Amino acid sequence: MGSGILTEVPMTSALTLAAVSNRTATLLCTPDGTRFTLAAPLAWQVFCGSDLIADGVTTVAPVFLEGLTPATGYVFRACGAELAFETAPCAGLVDVTAHGASVEAADNSAAFARAIAAVPEGGTLMVPPGRYCIRPIHLKARMTLYLPKGAELYADHDRQNWPILPPHDDASRVVGTWEGLPEAAFAAPVTAIDCDNLTITGAGRIDAGGDRGDWWSWPKETRDGARRPRALFLAHGRNVQLSGFTLCNSPSWTLHPYRIDGLTCTGLNIENPPDSPNTDGLNPESCTDVRLLGIRFSVGDDCIAVKAGKRGPGQVDHILPTRGLMVHHCLMARGHGAVVLGSEMSGDITDVDVAACEFVGTDRGLRIKTRRGRGGKVAHVRLSDVVMTGVGTPLAINAFYFCDPDGRSEAVQSRDPAPVDHTTPQVFDISLTDVLATDVQIAGVALLGLPEAPITGVTIRNFRVSFDPNAQPAVPLMAAHLDAVRHIPLWTEFAQVDGTVDLLPSPQEAR
């Protein structure tokens, strides 16, 4: 096979093999105390037998290697340690230019379709360096798409006759989806449905064209019978691996894996302008066993936004859980929230582990959002060994999130207890441990539960906070009936908390 998911991750105390394909590998260099950025530049080397084949210096934990030979053993050395690994075999290499793709062509999608059809099971489609204009291309199972450095897929700006994914396919499975409900949506520039054992890898780039055309001018509308596309959409698959490449300029959510069981994303760069609407970075929805390792985010909305579907009128069959999510050694450099769970969480979001990450300049750190009518639960969530800088509120849990047309209604926003039934969301067993947050603006912790279903089991251990002395008052959560505040260590309503916030002096006060 040309791709696969690591079932057991080889590692030393300082080196981890995060992903390997037939021509690439991603390693994490994590000396003691490392999150995403290394304390000092680190030299590394790669050997094949006794031959030195590559070397370099890294300033961040993820190191991405490409141009490797299939089915070959290598040794990676760094951090005073070494790690041996072997690349996957490849059943055959297909060059997309051999099927008519060209950097001069206005639309290479037909050439890509011919090339993808020619890739044997377990084989690789290689895109040589250059910019290739495309309309949506559709990948298949058991193949590798290899985008080496200098290769770029560049989406057309014109959505006329753009393909549309219907809400359901002929097997009644959801394929078109929008904010947790089955709904017609334009296909992503790179789309893969039924994508078992798919790998997309290489240090190249996918530019989804959100900054071209009119995509960003209608963020919540339907036009021409469909919602805006993602940059990369994956649906209904097992053992999917994404590594090395840059995703940018998404029309809406950037990377949207839907019903994927066994997903590894590592060494990616996900970039959208700060004013681009609803351009979440990575939205695993109804996925299980997800590993997000060494990813850099800078987006216009939430960096990681975990979803599990939402209830709609007569619509519940599409709801499935997201569980078993690992987020390690990632950098969230800008966004509304760093790691966000919900508000589409009707199928349950559970067993989430966020560790050794850096959050810089996000409005929220760990953010959980839900509301009456969702049902489901968010539970067993761990955040540890995280450093936050300039984050508005490091831990925010909001059960009155005012989403959807009725979100500001009295039925949703009333603080009087409502009847408890299957549509009442539950939030419990949330822990925050060994976290340093400096230049916080609003509140260290803000928790707002439902009176009929309070937030329970929140534990805080070794949480150190300093406040930005220049911060202006603002509401701590997106809910009605809240006053603007600033510099509040712990703000709660209808919530149970075990632990305290340790206040540190601001940098100005410490002088």
**Distance between CA atoms of residues 268 and 278, nearest Å:** 19
Burial 92-122, CB ≥16 within 10 A → b, else e: ebbebbebebeeeeeebbebbeebbeebeeb
- Please, is 405 exposed, middle or buried when counting C-beta atoms within 10 Å of its C-beta (0-12, 13-18, 19+)? exposed
Residue in 256, 336, 363, 439 annotated catalytic: 336
Active site residue 301: yes
Say how far residue 305 (Cα) sits from the centre of its chain: 6
Residue in 301, 302, 348, 351 annotated catalytic: 301
**Distance between CA atoms of residues 366 and 379, nearest Å:** 13
- Please, is 267 exposed, middle or buried when counting C-beta atoms within 10 Å of its C-beta (0-12, 13-18, 19+)? buried
Query: Left, alpha or beta for 304 (phi > 0: left; psi -120 to 50: alpha)?
Result: beta
As beta bridge partners, residue 323 has: 288, 350
Active site residue 302: no
- Please, is 429 exposed, middle or buried when counting C-beta atoms within 10 Å of its C-beta (0-12, 13-18, 19+)? middle
Residues 6+ apart with CB under 8 A from 127: 96, 101, 145, 146, 147, 148, 151, 153, 202, 204
**Distance between CA atoms of residues 360 and 332, nearest Å:** 6
Residues 6+ apart with CB under 8 A from 48: 69, 72, 73, 74, 75
- The vertex-364 CA angle with 382 and 442, nearest 5°, equals 120
* The pair of three-digit structure tokens given for residue 216, joined into one six-digit string: 């960003």
Residue in 448, 401, 451, 456 with CA at minimum distance from that of residue 427: 456
Q: How many CB atoms lie within 10 A of CB 141?
A: 18
**Distance between CA atoms of residues 6 and 8, nearest Å:** 5
Catalytic residues: 301, 336
